[in-house]
Amino acid sequence: MTAAQFAALSPLVVLAIAAVAAMMLVPLARIEAAQAAAGAGLALAAGLVLLRVGAPAAPLGALFTDDGLARFGIAYACLASLGALIFLRTGVPAKEAPALLVLVALGAATLAGAGHAATLFLGIEIVSLSLIALFAFRLSRQGLEAAYKFLVMSGLASSALLLGVALIYAETGALDFVGWTGHGALAALGTALLLAGLAFKFSLAPFHMWTPDAFEASPASAAALAGVVSKAAVAIVLLRLFLTAHLPEPVWSSGLAALGAASVLVGNLLALRQPQLPRMLGYSTIAHSGYIALILASGAPRAAEAVLFYLGVYAPAMLGALCVSAALGRAPTLYDLHGLIKRRPLEAIALSLSLLSLAGLPAAGGFIGKLYLLHVLVDRGLWLLLAIVVAGASLGFFYYARFFTAPFLGQSHDEAEPLPRVDQGLLALCVILIVLFGVAPVVLIDVVRLALP
């Protein structure tokens, strides 16, 4: 274990220790101590990764690759999980939430660096199991229902993924991504199943059924983890497969294109008249996964940069929206949002800006994200997909408009207690990030350029 190898793995080690510490602290001390330990662990891991930016890649064998993409993935997972930790409501009997949250971050970090089937499967299972526990975290009827459904469906998806990997393994004789080059029938079938398994985690249609229930029933931070952290990790795995593995081209690109197009249409259509904010956000994550899948499916030279940029812009918007949703109580509807600007100006502006960014309107990061998406599609001349994206964005524009205009209209109704200081800090950070990426996208583009080879 040379010093470089240890430094490369140190973020994962730190996360593991933090998870164990958070679990140990629960019976011994109050919940806040566990939350602090989790936060410290996440922050330390993120710090360690950021220190190694630009350092040469340490040779870690096939299981884990330590390149720029992995570092971007780990840093992204840690920071997003830290954000989710902030608006984690801890007033519930079960106190293991912070520990589970760190475990999800750990799983996402392993996925980010995964270069071998084993680490891929390990990472997916860690994320899935922790998410199941987090969905059932409130022990409410709906929470248990969402957790159970997620369990059954992720079990099926994982077995499909494994069968796919087994078939590719049978064809190519290799389990690490680099070795996966084969054009036989087995490889094609294996790729299809692999794609199905990953598409489930990525909540692409028709594997998207779990997302709306998870967003509605589970606490907002669990939804944030599922919607942002795990989605980003899977996106990075897809990107790595796209960059390194040479799986049969037709299955891979047109499969992803079909799934992406389906999820853009389904996600936007089903969110059209949703009265509830979290459920609407659930459907919009499906749509955004669709957009990212389309970027990957296009296979344009700048697709990788586009994916990372889109993820970078997507995180603050989704975290901001979910934090406001958490602040407004169990499952806020359009009715609760009326007149929010008068009672809670910061939440109203944060929610509106996040939804503006998700909708892709100018003056918000999402606009440049959509820019990349259009550029990639136009570059490869995929006119049909372009039409679908424009149609999806237009549909999407309707339901986002309903929600981001609600706070300014009508009279406010109830008096909810003010948001704790740290949550307001997070919202302010999200607002600043959204506007920064909207007005000066060069900042994020350079970060993304750094991460890519």
Interaction with another protein in 134-163: which residues (CB under 8 A)? Answer: 136, 139, 141-142, 144-149, 151-153, 155-160, 162-163
Helix (H, G, I), strand (E, B) or coil at 276: strand
Amino acid at 207: F
Q: Which of 33, 40, 50, 184 binds another protein (CB under 8 A)?
A: 184
Instruction: Give the x/- contact pattern for another protein in 209-248, rule: CB under 8 A.
Output: xx-xx--xx------------------------------x
In the bound complex, what is the minimum distance in angstroms from residue 168's beta carbon to another protein?
Answer: 9
Instruction: Give the x/- contact pattern for another protein in 410-449, rule: CB under 8 A.
Output: -------------------------------xx--x----
How far apart are alpha carbons 355 and 292 in whole angstroms?
A: 18
> Among residues 85 and 161, whose Cβ is nearest to another protein?
161
> Among residues 52 and 138, whose Cβ is nearest to another protein?
138
By CB under 8 A, residue 201 contacts another protein: no
Say if residues 11 and 66 touch (Cβ distance below 8 Å). no
In the bound complex, what is the minimum distance in angstroms from residue 437's beta carbon to another protein?
Answer: 11
How far apart are alpha carbons 452 and 72 in whole angstroms?
A: 9
Phi, psi angle pair for 59, to nearest 5°: -70, 115
By CB under 8 A, residue 266 contacts another protein: yes
By CB under 8 A, residue 206 contacts another protein: yes
Strand-pairing partners, residue 333, are 276
> Among residues 89 and 375, whose Cβ is nearest to another protein?
375
Say if residues 379 and 298 touch (Cβ distance below 8 Å). yes
By CB under 8 A, residue 20 contacts another protein: no
Instruction: Give the x/- contact pattern for another protein in 163-182, rule: CB under 8 A.
Output: x-xxx-xx--x-x-------
Q: How far is CA 8 from CA 3, 48, 100, 234, 448, in A?
A: 9, 9, 23, 20, 20
Reading the block at residue 14, the tokens are 């730190």
Q: Which of 301, 345, 362, 420 binds another protein (CB under 8 A)?
A: 362
Question: Considering only residues 92-131, where is the footprint of another protein by CB under 8 A?
Answer: 117-118, 121-122, 125, 128-129
End-to-end CA distance of the chain: 25
Residue recorded with tokens 């990075």: 236
In the bound complex, what is the minimum distance in angstroms from residue 427's beta carbon to another protein?
Answer: 19
Say if residues 432 and 300 touch (Cβ distance below 8 Å). no
| Share in percent of the chain as helix, strand, coil (round to 5) | 75, 0, 20
In the bound complex, what is the minimum distance in angstroms from residue 422's beta carbon to another protein?
Answer: 26
Residues whose CB falls within 8 Å of the CB of residue 20, separated by 6 or more in sequence, listed in order: 99
With the CA atoms of 349, 350, 352 and 357 taken in that order, what torsion angle do they form, in degrees rounded to the nearest 10? 140
> Among residues 50 and 189, whose Cβ is nearest to another protein?
189
In the bound complex, what is the minimum distance in angstroms from residue 221's beta carbon to another protein?
Answer: 19
By CB under 8 A, residue 288 contacts another protein: no
Q: Which of 40, 243, 334, 401 binds another protein (CB under 8 A)?
A: 401
Total interface residues for another protein by CB under 8 A: 98
**CA pseudo-torsion sign 254, 256, 259, 264:** negative
Reading the block at residue 156, the tokens are 């099926």
Ranges of beta strands (E only) in 231-362 are none
Q: Which range touches another protein (CB under 8 A), out of 42-50, 53-61, 205-213, 231-239?
A: 205-213
